[in-house]
Chain A
């Protein structure tokens, strides 16, 4: 058993579980019925992927997968902060869905060469299913970006801030160095982040999106990416002292208040009836 493997699998599983849970919150509330179905189905996929990662972990650790998914305290979760953010409006939901699924594609592609065979077969399988999420996200982002001005403006308002927070998906895992040394991670996280940023900045340029967050989005972004990919200080964060780059900390178990409600909701059944089957 490798502690580094446990660390990597936990973060991968937690990302999928928490974002899957956020997506599921659209069930019954999406702007129209087809998207209600789509987000419910995407949520089911993501939670299923989380389940597969937790099962692998459970096998390694000799514990029960449900106890890993639902039996931990908040600070034990290692998902990126981007995943726990409230859905906000439809524009934020789409922006995060788009950024997350492109990041996940880059990550899964690299994991196909992992030294751990169980992780390799899982990455291969999951990556094939995730194609449909990518197609869905790309279609929506293109549609809204080229659509009426109101929708485009709403998207522009949130997409750069979400892009900054997406860097949390590539925050090095705990035990990143041994994970790289053991070949569990064939590509170190900072290198994957560069691949992601290069790809997304190109997409931003093609869509005519600014990569700088607008000033009123300062609650989401203290630092923003310039089009060259360097991180620069965003506007409107003058009073903040020692700013931490937005979106980081999740991989070390630091979460925002937005995770509190999600965690309560997600784990209440398990906490009331540990070991229940349903």
Chain B
């Protein structure tokens, strides 16, 4: 059976959309903009993933899950998954849908549009509480449970929450 490459690529992207970020299961690797490229040649797929933070320990799990998910696509016989830092993953890559899902998960999405210049990297001046929408919040720690998150506290609804660090 010969599949049209474009259709096959769509199938692969759909499979990737079903692979959750193991540390933030509410979003997929596609929502996170972690898929660098998808190439199909015959029945071979080559996927390049962009690690969010270099030291993120979830990357091995992600690569394994991506390999398994793409391997389930009927027309695919072999899958190669690799990582690359070129281009670097940046928070700009998180999709609009991904940002909505992060917020629903209780994690304030990175704010701002467009590329973040190196000199602009840092915590946002105001972080918006993902639970009540208040701007009356403060940073408790620029670091958190994973390399990509900072800890905040909402002074209105009195909930702790996490902010995705712009990078």
Contact = CB atoms under 8 A, between A and B. Distances in A.
B143 A129 contact: no
Interface residues of A, number: 27
Contact of B85 (A42, A51, A125): A125
Interface string B13-26: 00000000000000
B106 interface: no
B122 interface: yes
A129 B122 contact: no
Contacts of B84: 121
A37 B121 contact: no
A37 B149 CA distance: 11
A129 B54 contact: yes
A132 B144 contact: no
Contacts of A131: 118, 121-122, 167
Contact of A121 (B56, B88, B142, B151): B88
Q: Is the interface of B mostly helix, strand, loop or mixed?
A: loop
Contacts of B147: 41, 44-45, 48, 129
B90 interface: yes
Given A37-B143, A121-B88, A124-B88, A51 B55 contact: yes
A125 B87 CA distance: 9
A42 B144 CA distance: 10
Contacts, number: 78
Nearest to A49: B54
B54 A126 contact: yes
A56 B123 CA distance: 30
A129 B85 contact: no
Given A125-B88, A131-B118, A135-B122, A41 B143 contact: yes
A48 B55 contact: yes
Contacts of A121: 84-88
A136 B142 contact: yes
Contacts of B53: 45, 48, 129
Contact of A45 (B54, B86, B141): B54
A37 B162 CA distance: 13
B107 to A, nearest CB: 16
Interface string A120-154: 01101111110110011000000000000000000
Given A45-B53, A48-B55, A121-B85, 16 more contacts: A34-B140, A37-B143, A38-B141, A38-B143, A42-B143, A117-B86, A124-B88, A128-B121, A129-B147, A129-B167, A131-B122, A131-B167, A132-B122, A132-B143, A132-B167, A136-B142
